[in-house]
Amino acid sequence: MPKSAPCCAGPDHGCTRLVGGDGSARLTVCARPDGDRTVVTLSGDLDLAADQTLQHALRSALDDSGKGIDLDLGGVDFCDCSGLNVLLGIRQQALDQYKTATIRRLSPAAARVFSLTGTLPLFDPEAEAQPQQGHATAPDPRVEAAQLRRAMQTRGLTDQARGILMATFSLTAEEAWNVLVMTSQNTNTKLHRGAQQLVDSIRGEALPEATRQQLSTAVAHVTAERAEAKN
């Protein structure tokens, strides 16, 4: 069972490491001050197992900051809807404290999730700076709230679809997530839309032919990768 452990310590800032059963670090969260902001560097896996550790570390960094946090996600190896939900949650908490949460750097794994969900603009530092510089009007808070609400609500739908894939094809949670992402990319369909199609298929609606074909290809791909890893 993963457990949290301090990585390095300081009076106000430091690092937290989530350790797996084999003693390896599954997630490391390091915070350091940068003027009136705090830079938080994440490396490892942002998934359900890391949910509580990640929430606690980000809340602590946000509370210690003067004006907010800047996320460095360049070292993220894996990110699913659980990890994204935590990041969206800390952004909302920052706004509630009249602060901001922005993203400085993205790994390919993290960029893929933000691209599929269309939520990256919510963390754009340029968008935060523009109203102060007079280059653009402030974003409509009603639009931001709708985007945030939609992203958080689709987590349950995506989890349902992932559970269906896990039960149907005997996949792990990570394999099921990869199948959803690959199918979404290869059909040029938003992730939440593909998840909805899969859930609807359990209720008797036929999957679109393109989705069915790409889903089969993705399942074959991840199972082949698993077999290779064992050999």
The values of phi and psi at residue 70, to 5°, are -115, 120
Residue 147 lies in a domain: no
Residue 119 lies in a domain: yes
Query: Which of 110, 137, 164 is at the close of a domain?
Result: 137
Residue 186 included in any domain: yes
* Domain co-membership, 132 together with 58: yes
Q: Name the token pair of 202.
A: 């359990």
Whether residues 123 and 185 share a domain: the answer is no
Q: Report the pLDDT value the prediction gives residue 202, as an integer from 0 to 100.
A: 79
Query: Which residue stretches of the chain are H helix?
Result: 51-64, 81-96, 108-117, 125-133, 141-169, 173-187, 191-202, 209-230
Q: How many domains are contained in the chain?
A: 2
Residues 163 and 194 in one domain: yes
Grouping H, G, I as helix, E, B as strand and the rest as coil, residue 40 is strand
Q: Are residues 174 and 87 in the same domain?
A: no
161 with 123, same domain?
Answer: no
pLDDT at 147 (0 to 100): 52
* pLDDT for residue 150: 54
- Identify the segments of the chain with pLDDT beneath 70: 1-14, 19-24, 125-155
pTM over 0.75: no
pLDDT number for residue 133: 39
Same domain flag for 218 and 108: no
pLDDT, position 8: 46
Q: Do 8 and 112 fall into the same domain?
A: yes
Residue 159's domain comprises: 152-230
Residue 20 lies in a domain: yes
Same domain, 98 and 177: no
Single out the residue of 46, 44, 45, 41 nearest to residue 29, CA to CA.
41
End-to-end CA distance of the chain: 26
Residue 40 lies in a domain: yes
* Phi, psi (degrees; rounded to nearest 5) at 3: -140, 155
Q: Which residues pair with 33 in a beta bridge?
A: 38
User: What is the pLDDT, as a whole number, of residue 25?
Assistant: 72
Please indicate, yes or no, if residue 194 is contained in any of the structural domains.
yes
* Residue in the block written with tokens 């901001």: 100
d(CA 65, CA 116): 30
Residues 13, 100 within the same domain: yes
Taking the CA of residue 175 as centre, how many other CA atoms within 13 Å lie in the half-sphere pointing to its CB?
Answer: 20
Instruction: For 27, list phi and psi in degrees, rounded to 5.
Output: -155, 135
Name the residue among 48, 53, 107, 108 with its Cα closest to residue 83: 48
Same domain, 118 and 26: yes
> Does residue 55 sit in the same domain as residue 92?
yes
- Neighbouring CB atoms inside 10 A of 128's CB total 16
Do 167 and 53 fall into the same domain?
no
What pLDDT does residue 37 have? Answer: 93
The answer to whether position 206 is within a domain reads yes
Q: Would you say residue 122 lies in a domain?
A: yes
